[in-house]
Structure 1
Amino acid sequence: MSIMYRGRPDLNFISLGDLKHLNWNVQDLLIRIRELDRSLYSQSCQAMGSLRQWLPVFSQHPETWRAIVSEGRDLAAYWQTAAVDEELYRALKSGAASETDLSASSYMKLTEPGIYNLYFVSVCVNPAFRGAETNLALIESFFSVMNRLSEKGVFLEEITCSVCSPDGEQICRTFRLDYLRDNVIGKVYSGPVGNVIKRFQNPLASRCPGLFERYQEVGLC
């Protein structure tokens, strides 16, 4: 079932298994995501990709994304990430590769214990839902996934992302990521996940109990 965000009762975290409760399938969600992307960004700002590219990704790698959906079934926000092999991750981090190089086969399945690096493909908020509560819902949904993965021995060491808007840069600063370089769509930011966890350590203590300690135990905090 979907998880209700504690700060705003009409917002729910939606994962792959929750789509049936909305009478949606993955394609229905992706159509809404593409509509939101198009309303926020120019074609030159991002590589949105196609349904053909993202349908298998969202279907086969459910721990790499979450949607925030209102009770009225509006897409309030979503985030999408990619855990890929070291070579592709370094290429994304250096700017030599981009979102267009991602495919379901290039993703690593987050089912086996281990330490992975994560590339943030996109974070988008519907202007009608902009505000602190939606931003916090995005953050809480991300950490809830991290918490569940850590319980299974799956840990994240580093986060990298490309941003092309002031809002994106602000999110990077909030997560204490460092600016690395410009790329073809904007700017590349990166940083250790341990710094991100420490940034939110106090609220995480109640919302994701044990997350900080588990990351400490493996030397990532």
Structure 2
Amino acid sequence: MRPETLAAGLALLLLAAACNGEDRHERVRLQVEAAPEYMQPPADEDVISTDLSAKAQATIGELEAIIETNSLTRLARFADAEPAFLSNFAGASHRTHWDLLRRTGFDPILTLEKLFDGPYGVKSVSGETWYVWPELAALEPEELQPERLNFSQRARLRELVGEAGIAEIREGSGYPGVRTAIAEDGRWLYFVHETNSEE
């Protein structure tokens, strides 16, 4: 008998013995606690539509056209057309504030472009839907605590605000980084880079 045939026969015998033999593996069952409520997916009735409204998309289109021109004057005019628009907490005009930022190395137009290139979050404010960039800025301070975020969200938060920003959040601050928001009806609400305590 050839060695190959002998080896194949032995393999079949071993396989048959294993199938007829008793399964000696012990089965272990683990009981795991349910995930905390904040990690559960929201109930359907609480979900806010995440699609941008047509009016919000139109506003983004107008802002992107201004971004293409790289004109702070046009950006300030657009912001001035919204009576409640907020660019800073010091009461300076939008144009003055953004001019000052640009002179210090913070380019408002480039920053706004980067925000719109990234993901957005959705929040309800007094029954109104707001689209907020970046997505983490839409979270309430208690939801923003690093321990309540998943791994990728924590990494994203560190990338956006750094360790100093995370320290502010741990002390109860809202999102401390650059952020902007557009309402469902197309109003540009704010574009700020500071917190209210930094007046």
Q: TM-score, normalised by structure 2?
A: 0.29
Structure number with the bigger relative contact order (C-alpha 8 A, sep ≥ 6) is 2
Bigger Rg, structure 1 or 2: 2
Q: TM-score, normalised by structure 1?
A: 0.27
